[in-house]
């Protein structure tokens, strides 16, 4: 049992459990906190996969910015705590869980028992090199410059949109 396997099991467990807990807590704040924990576990998994840049970005952007935004809104709106999970529309909820379960089984089948055409097995060195910031930066500014600019526009639009939507009425 190598260190990698142990770490994988650790991060995977933390990620799964925090995900499940997130959706079952009654208080919204607690759910947000568990999501942050999930993101942290994911960052660990990224590191295990030699994706250093993405791991760091995950922590900074997701856990640091987006979740903070979520918490701000939760605190602002102060929604009341939900009731027990199955009190409202129990039939619909159970049906939804069933469907989700079925999809999970189908995905599992596809993952394990299908025969993919490609064979993903590169070398460790190659994956280390691919995860460095230089490599990502090179790809970003040469081959994928167009999506990069488009993303910029998208962020601009989102900023303006969010601003206007959340603004109080003009006097």
Partner 1 sequence: MIQLIYLTVLFPLIGFLINGLFGSKIKNEKVIGIIGSGVIGLSFLVSVGAFIETIGLPVEQRKNIVDLFTWLSVGGLNIHFAYQVDQLSLIMALIVTGVGFVIHVYSIGYMHGDKSFWRFFTYLNLFIFTMMNLILADNFLLLFLGWEGVGLCSYLLIGFWYDRKFEKMTTSDAGKKAFVVNRIGDFGFLLGMFLIYMTFGSLNFGEVFGRVGAFNVDQSVFNFIAIFLFIGATGKSAQIPLFVWLPDAMAGPTPVSALIHAATMVTAGVYMVARCSLIFASAPAILTVIAIVGAVTALFAATIGLVQNDIKKVLAYSTVSQLGYMFLALGVGAFSAGIFHVMTHAFFKALLFLGAGSVIHSMHEDQDIQNYGGLRKKMPATALTFLVASLAISGIPPLSGFFSKDEILWKSFANGNVVYWAIGAFTALLTAFYMFRLYFLTFEGNSRWGKDKRPHESPKVMTVPLMILAVLSAIGGFIGIPALFSGEGGNVFEHWLEPIFKNADARLALYSAHTHTDEIILMVVSIILAVGGIMIARQIYMKKPNIATSAAKKFKGIHKLLWNKYFVDEIYDATVVTPIVKTSESFLWKITDAKIIDGVVNGVASLVGSISKNIRKIQTGVAQVYALVMTLGIAIALLWIILSL
Partner 2 sequence: MQVPIEYYLILSAFMFIVGVAGVLTRRNAIVVFMSVELMLNSANLTMVAFASFMGSAVGQLFVFFVMTVAAAEAAVGLAIIIAMFRNKLTVNIDEISILKW
**Chain contacts with partner 1 (rule: CB under 8 A):** 92, 95-96, 99-100, 102-103, 106-107, 109-110, 114
Q: Is 10 in the site for partner 2 (CB under 8 A)?
A: no
Identify which of residues 99 and 156 has a Cβ nearer to partner 1 in the complex.
99
Q: Closest separation between CB of residue 24 and partner 1, Å?
A: 16
Which alpha helices (DSSP H) does the chain contain, by range? Answer: 3-24, 28-48, 52-57, 67-77, 90-113, 124-131, 133-142, 145-166
Question: How many chain residues bind partner 2 (CB under 8 A)?
Answer: 83
Contacts of 17 (CB under 8 A, 6+ apart): none
Query: 37 touches which of partner 1, partner 2, none (CB within 5 to 8 A by kind)?
Result: none
Query: CA-to-CA distance for 19 and 12, rounded, in angstroms?
Result: 11
Q: Closest separation between CB of residue 170 and partner 2, Å?
A: 14
């Amino acid at each position: 049992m190598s260190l990698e396997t142990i770490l994988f099991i650790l991060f995977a467990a933390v990620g799964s459990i925090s995900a499940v807990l997130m959706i079952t807590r009654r208080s919204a704040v607690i759910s947000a906190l568990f999501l942050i924990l999930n993101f942290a576990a994911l960052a660990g998994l990224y590191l295990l996969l030699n994706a250093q840049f993405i791991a760091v970005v995950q922590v900074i952007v997701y856990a640091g910015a987006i979740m903070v935004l979520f918490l701000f809104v939760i605190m602002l709106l102060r929604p009341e705590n939900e009731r027990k999970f199955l009190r409202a529309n129990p039939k619909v909820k159970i049906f939804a869980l069933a469907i989700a379960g079925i999809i999970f089984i189908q995905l599992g089948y596809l993952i394990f028992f299908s025969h993919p055409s490609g064979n993903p097995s590169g070398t460790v060195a190659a994956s280390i090199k691919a995860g460095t910031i230089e490599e990502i930066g090179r790809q970003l500014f040469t081959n994928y410059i167009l999506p990069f600019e488009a993303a910029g526009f998208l962020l601009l639009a989102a900023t303006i949109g969010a601003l206007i939507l959340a603004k109080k009425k003009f006097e």
